Amino acid sequence: MGSDDGGVVADAAAPGTDVDARLATRLSGLRAEHGWSLGELAERSGVSRSTLSRAERGEISPTAAILNRLCGAYGRTMSQLLSEVEAEPAQIVRAAEQAVWADEASGFVRRSVSPPHAGLRGEVVEGTLAPGADLAYDRPPVPGLEQHLWVLDGDLEVTVGGEPHALATGDCLRFRVWGATRFRCGGAVSARYALLVVAP
């Protein structure tokens, strides 16, 4: 199949399910994450601009062939793409369901308040550092990771890019992680904080 701009066009029935709507939203989000225009994605995938536009608006349900081309452009398998839209994340994460991990050697306890989900970009973590705890990370898991750290109790020193920040209860530090970070509780009581992590 062809089109006036040389790309593949869709020949699919009109969408009519929640999955179709979530797929449309995810396709639009993926293009935004890569910073591509419709024209750029059309060139990379071989799918016409008009088809891409209609798919992202949920006006059509893309064929398997089109999804395969889009997956190739985005560097993921079709299973990965579909797993991101098959189920909505739970709206409520009960306290009893929040995974807790403790690093006793360093005095760090991590609670996954809002765990990561393929359909969401952000997550919320509660961290507790015992007095004297000193955590150092040489690199971020994802370069450019956006983080918002809100101190709930105690005092905390956070070093980002070689610059230390002394934080007290109620203070919020906002930053993107490109290199090493350090979290230190130098006070006589534990420091507890909420960390909002947003994938780039």
The pLDDT tens digits for 14-72 are: 445 677 888 898 899 899 989 999 999 999 999 999 999 999 999 988 888 888 889 98
Exposure on the CB side of residue 75, measured as CA atoms within 13 A: 3
Is-above-0.75 flag for pTM?
no
Q: Which one is predicted more confidently, 16 or 84?
A: 84
Q: At which residue do the structure tokens 């701009």 appear? A: 5
Do 63 and 10 contact (CB within 8 A), yes or no? yes
Residue closest to 70 by CA, chosen among 40, 115, 93, 100: 40
Nearest to 117 by CA among 143, 84, 140: 84
Phi, psi for residue 4 in degrees, rounded to 5: -65, -20
- Could you tell me if 151 and 167 are in contact, meaning their C-beta atoms sit under 8 angstroms apart? yes
What is the Cα–Cα distance from 11 to 23, expressed in whole angstroms?
17
Give the mean pLDDT of 117-131: 89
Strands 100-103 and 108-114: antiparallel
First to last CA, the chain: 35
Using alpha carbons, select from 130, 121, 124, 135 the residue that is nearest to residue 98: 124
